[in-house]
Amino acid sequence: MSDKQIQAAYDLAKQQYADLGVDADAALKKLATIPISIHCWQGDDVGGFESAATEIGGGLAATGNYPGKARTADELRQDAAKALSLIPGKHRFNLHASYGDFAGRAVARDAIGPEHFSRWIDWAKGLGIGLDFNPTFFAHPLATSFTLAHPDKSTREFWVRHGIACRAVGAAIGKALGTPCVTNLWIPDGMKDTPVDRLGPRERLTASLDEIFKQPLDRAHNLDAVEGKLFGIGFESYTVGSHEFYFGYALTRQVLYTLDTGHYHPTETITDKISAVFMYLPEILLHVSRGVRWDSDHVVVLNDDLEAIAQELVRGNFVGRTHIGLDYFDASINRVAAWVIGTRNMLKALLRAMVEPTAILRQHESAADYTTRLALQEEFKALPWGAVWDYHCATANLPSRGAWMDVIKQYEKSVLSARQ
């Protein structure tokens, strides 16, 4: 579409929304302020850059062998910058501890420091973006069935030191970039078959977490978060850090609670959990992925689940209290394109929710006129939000619809294909 066609379509859409009491200009202005934290592990299949190669483990598996995977931190930064250049708005990048610039040296997980991420900080400064961080409690000889809940004290203490080191890295990142780094803690601890003792590992995990979070850090630099999960490969029967465990921990310790869209039963969505959690916690971390059967980490698409999450965030006025990040990895398609697809879809879902004539729907709901509410909910799905999205991309000097794939194809031809 030409700029003139995009403008004409937007003007018509804008008027349609105005007739329903929605200010499309205001929605776009707000959308432009929402950062999505884009995850590093999509770019290299959760490999990381430690000198010792280890299987991912921890109930995680990346499938596919699409050519062009990032092999070094420099290549990953190059790919991420290309993806960011095709996404409207100013966003963030989310790192795992195993993605440091280790210069080929073996650095123990409990010995990592801000110096191993200085090049990431410089890169982020150059792009004007923030960084988030995660300890890496997998892909390591000491990450077997247990880490922070391990029955062996010395192993447990190693992982505690790793958690403490990662908080220090997060705080250094946040201080250097002038925006709080969300440091999110997830562990794969659990059992393949039914345990006899479910309490003991949870008692050990609680003690380990308390030790990790013992030192207060400036919240202007670092925000702590904890993330639960239903199960993983090899941990089908018991996960120590379940939803109930971590929600209770976050509530009593006043850290962020992480809701991951792929960490629940395949038929269970997190939409209804958002307002429930916000009754008791001031902020949350949201990890967005797409579950398909047992696999929780497919590329985010604009489906009913994603739209429902965005609607809940907008309708409840929770956007300013939610740190939104992505969490998936697909090695069967172009990895840079996967970043762009998922992030654009997250933004599209937020935009659709922002231009929804919610006030009209609330009016009918308050009057207990649920028939009209349902009828209008369905009718509003046909409103021309796509014209608003195209305009949003055009004003950011970015291609809309599928035109951005031309850039990806050229990047694949000139850069990714040379990595074989």
Q: 305 and 330 in one domain? A: yes
Question: What is the domain range of residue 398?
Answer: 1-22+358-420
Please count the helices (runs of H) and the strands (runs of E) in the chain. 14, 12
Whether the predicted pLDDT of 65 surpasses 80? yes
**How does pLDDT run across 193-209, given as a tens digit for each residue?**
999 999 999 999 999 99
169 is a domain residue = yes
Reported as a pLDDT band with limits 50, 70 and 90, residue 52 is: low
Instruction: State the average pLDDT for the chain.
Output: 95
Residue 296 has pLDDT above 90, yes or no: no
Task: Tell me: do 176 and 210 sit in the same domain.
Answer: yes
Tokens 């590329």: give the residue. 299
The whole-number pLDDT of residue 264 equals 87
Residue 365 domain-assigned (yes or no)? yes
pLDDT in tens, 298-312: 999 999 999 999 999
Report pLDDT for 420.
75
> Nearest Cα to 164, choosing from 111, 206, 229, 201?
111
Q: Looking at the structure, tell me whether residues 108 and 250 fall in a common domain.
A: yes
Report the CATH number at residue 143.
Answer: 3.20.20.150
Q: Which of 329, 354, 379 is the last residue of a domain?
A: 354
Decide: 212 and 164 in contact? Cβ < 8 Å: yes
Claim to verify: residue 373 and residue 247 sit in the same structural domain? no
Q: With pLDDT > 90 as the criterion, what percentage of the chain qualifies?
A: 88
> Into how many domains does the chain fold?
2
Domain boundary among 303, 319, 354: 354
Identify the domain boundary among 354, 383, 398: 354
Tell me the average pLDDT across 268-296.
93
> What is the DSSP secondary structure assignment for residue 419, as one 8-state letter?
G
290 lies in some domain: yes
Mean of pLDDT values over 77-104: 97
pTM of the entire structure? 0.96
Query: How does residue 53 score in pLDDT terms, banded at 50, 70 and 90?
Result: low
pLDDT-based confidence at 54, cuts 50/70/90?
A: low
Burial 282-309 (b: 16+ CB within 10 A, else e): ebbbbbbbbbeeebbbbbbebeebbbbb
Average pLDDT over residues 345-366: 98
223 and 320 assigned to the same domain: yes
Residues 246 and 331 in one domain: yes
Statement to judge: residues 337 and 392 lie in one domain: no
The token pair that represents 152 in the structure block: 């062996």
pLDDT at 256: 98
Q: Is the dihedral of CA 39, 43, 44, 48 positive or negative?
A: negative
Question: What angle is formed at CA 91 by the lines to CA 75 and CA 419, rounded to 5 degrees?
Answer: 15
- Residue 28 in any domain: the answer is no
Residue 176 has pLDDT above 70, yes or no: yes
Shared domain check, 43 and 8: no
Catalogue the active-site residues: 186, 227, 229, 260, 263, 287, 295, 297, 327
Judge whether 164 lies within some domain.
yes
Q: What is the DSSP string of 94-132?
A: EEEGGGS--TT----GGG--GGGGHHHHHHHHHHT-EEE
Query: Distance between CA atoms of 380 and 401, rounded to whole angstroms?
Result: 21
Q: What pLDDT does residue 259 have?
A: 97
Average pLDDT over residues 322-327: 98
Q: Say yes or no: 186 and 266 in one domain.
A: yes
> Are 315 and 348 members of one domain?
yes
Q: What's the mean pLDDT in 144-173?
A: 97
Q: What pLDDT does 61 receive? A: 76
Q: What is the structure's pLDDT at 10?
A: 97
Say whether both 387 and 329 belong to one domain: no
The mean per-residue pLDDT over the stretch 385-406 comes to 94
**399: in domain:** yes
Stretch 143-159: mean pLDDT: 96
Q: Is the dihedral of CA 211, 252, 219, 262 positive or negative?
A: positive
Q: What is the pLDDT of residue 233?
A: 83
In a domain? residue 27: no
Residue 155 and residue 186 in one domain: yes
